[in-house]
Structure 1
Amino acid sequence: MQLGLVGLGKMGGNMRERLRRAGHTVVGYDRNPDVADVHSLGELVDTLAEPRVVWVMVPAGAPTQATIDELGELLSPGDVVVDGGNSRWTDDIKHAEALAGKNIGFVDCGVSGGVWGRDNGYALMCGGDAADIAKVQPIFDALKPEGPAGFVHAGKVGAGHFAKMVHNGIEYALMQAYAEGWELLEAADVVTDVREVFRSWQEGTVIRSWLLDLAVRAMDDDEHLEGLRGYAEDSGEGRWTVEAAIDHAVPLPAITASLFARFASRQDDSPQMKMVAALRNQFGGHAVTAASTHKGADAPGADVTPPKEADAG
């Protein structure tokens, strides 16, 4: 089968290689000419035989919107566009409606597998009409892992990215749980080999997982993770998951807390903790630590004298 693939970064480039290994013809376009097979979207479309399938793997938001808008002008009735990026599911509905006016199909596909997907396969969560899904099915079959699992037609347009959004929210919470357990083990003097504790969990325990395997791999590279800064970005899907939970009145305390923990990781000097420290000092006379900009007696680590008549609390 022929496929046009737009976006040849870490994910897109590996997907192209996996598909070619499976015998499919992939014509790739990227703004980086060193990795592209063609020089423009127009050339990509002209290279493919009808009915065409073009898979988009570019950043969510404006880049995806611009790419789909341009493809809408280039493609023909009966062609299909697949958005395999991390788009918000509500955007899928707008894209599908715009393309439907030109009789061009649209499929949204949440893709999970990261840099390991080229060899292990990708988990694919798709939304759209059954007829459009069927046109892309040979590509899905080549990208998914071997065996019965790894692909789902999750529902109508938007369902694929909604499912991937929830997947990533769960991922946030799982990573946070492993991270909290790791920190506690590192803090306890009684445990002398945290890495091997994690390794012992890889077989026979109910918390074994690929994430656990990756945690052990990371500690094999840097046993106490001393070379890393305690800072974690969020891709946006964690936020969307929490927002969707609010819209549907579904409680997500673990996922929400894990998202907020990432926000906290970006604060070298938490403004909230300034107020907490000030209040503890005011009501209970608890010692506070001065800001690093102060000198002398107020240097970092120095205790500031509490109010003389502070109330205990």
Structure 2
Amino acid sequence: MHVAVMTGGLESEDLARRLLKAGHRVLACALDDEALERLAHHGRIERASLESVPAKLSRPRVLWFATTPAREFDAALDKLEGSLAKDDTLVDSGNTFYEDDLCRAKRLERRGAFLLDAGVFKEGYRLSFAVGGDFAAFEFLRPLFESLAFRGGVCHCGGPGAGHFVRSLHERTEHLLRMAYHDARECIEASPYKVDLGFSEFLLFTQRYCKGQPCADLPLEGLAAMAAPSVTSRPD
């Protein structure tokens, strides 16, 4: 597949490298000369200015924004919008506020184009994606996402904004779990009981203790409500 990587920086270079290794053609818009030189060892990579990207891409066109502040994304969209056509897709895998996805998806819809917001999860070198947006557009690009993810690591979560919403919720959940384990550890250390319990043993103990118990489902319900401030309020 022919993909334009629209942003610069290490995240974009990593994305371009993964795309090349997966056999895709990459058009780089904002990567510097040193990054392009490093990437040349992994496959064919072309260079283009922002304005020339639509003309150089195969149709339907795929433009991937990896790390873009909201103002820069909207500025790029202002320049690109007139050149976009039916079935073109913009992928946003940055840390975008999900309500911004809703506005941009409606804006692109007027031209018959799509926005897919992709929440990215990393485990070592492996990736997985939680994707929001038009389902038909997602299905068309599913092979692209699957070529970058481990098996079973691609999920369509719902309409525009769903991917970034799930990613934000996941980050909040991780934070709450770290707090919970830290508090539990402090309680153990402050108690009169000399319990030598490592983190992995503590996780195993928690899993066994809660297995099959109704209370095991309570955190999942509570975490969604407790996470609300992080996913429903605009970041600074």
TM-score after normalising by structure 2: 0.73
For 1:126 and 1:153, locate their aligned partners in 2 and report how far apart those are by CA, in whole Å: 5
Which of structures 1 and 2 has the bigger CA Rg?
1
- Percent identity between the aligned chains? 28
Q: Is the alpha carbon distance of 1:34 and 1:71 closer, same or farther for their aligned partners in structure 2, counting shifts above 3 Å?
A: farther
Instruction: Count residues in correspondence.
Output: 207
1:126 match? 131
Deviations 1:36-59 (CA, angstroms, capped at 9, x unpaired): 552522343333111111111123
Q: Is the alpha carbon distance of 1:89 and 1:240 closer, same or farther for their aligned partners in structure 2, counting shifts above 3 Å?
A: farther
Is it true that 1:99 corresponds to 2:104 in the alignment? no
Q: CA deviation at 1:90?
A: 0.8
For 1:152 and 1:111, locate their aligned partners in 2 and report how far apart those are by CA, in whole Å: 11
Q: Is the alpha carbon distance of 1:113 and 1:10 closer, same or farther for their aligned partners in structure 2, counting shifts above 3 Å?
A: farther
TM-score after normalising by structure 1: 0.56
Counterpart pick for 2:72 among 57, 63, 78: 63
User: What pairs with 1:17-32 in structure 2 (closer than 5 Å)?
Assistant: 17-30=17-30, 32=32
Q: Is the alpha carbon distance of 1:174 and 1:75 closer, same or farther for their aligned partners in structure 2, counting shifts above 3 Å?
A: same
One-letter identity of the residue aligned with 1:82: V
Counterpart pick for 2:173 among 170, 173, 198: 170
For 1:205 and 1:11, locate their aligned partners in 2 and report how far apart those are by CA, in whole Å: 37
Q: Report SS of the residue matched to 1:41.
A: coil
User: What pairs with 1:287-298 in structure 2 (closer than 5 Å)?
Assistant: none
2:144 match? 139
Task: Give RMSD over aligned pairs.
Answer: 3.1
For 1:198 and 1:28, locate their aligned partners in 2 and report how far apart those are by CA, in whole Å: 43
Deviations 1:148-177 (CA, angstroms, capped at 9, x unpaired): x32111111121111112111112212223
One-letter identity of the residue aligned with 1:58: T
Q: Is the alpha carbon distance of 1:178 and 1:56 closer, same or farther for their aligned partners in structure 2, counting shifts above 3 Å?
A: same
Is it true that 1:73 corresponds to 2:74 in the alignment? no
The structure with more strand, counted as a fraction of residues: 2
Indicate conservation of the 8 Å contact 2:9/2:31, yes or no: no
Deviations 1:245-300 (CA, angstroms, capped at 9, x unpaired): 79xxxxxxxxxxxxxxxxxxxxxxxxxxxxxxxxxxxxxxxxxxxxxxxxxxxxxx
Q: Report SS of the residue matched to 2:85.
A: coil
**Unaligned segments of structure 2, at least 5 residues:** 37-45, 209-225
For 1:205 and 1:186, locate their aligned partners in 2 and report how far apart those are by CA, in whole Å: 16
- The higher relative CO (CA closer than 8 Å, separation ≥ 6) is in 2
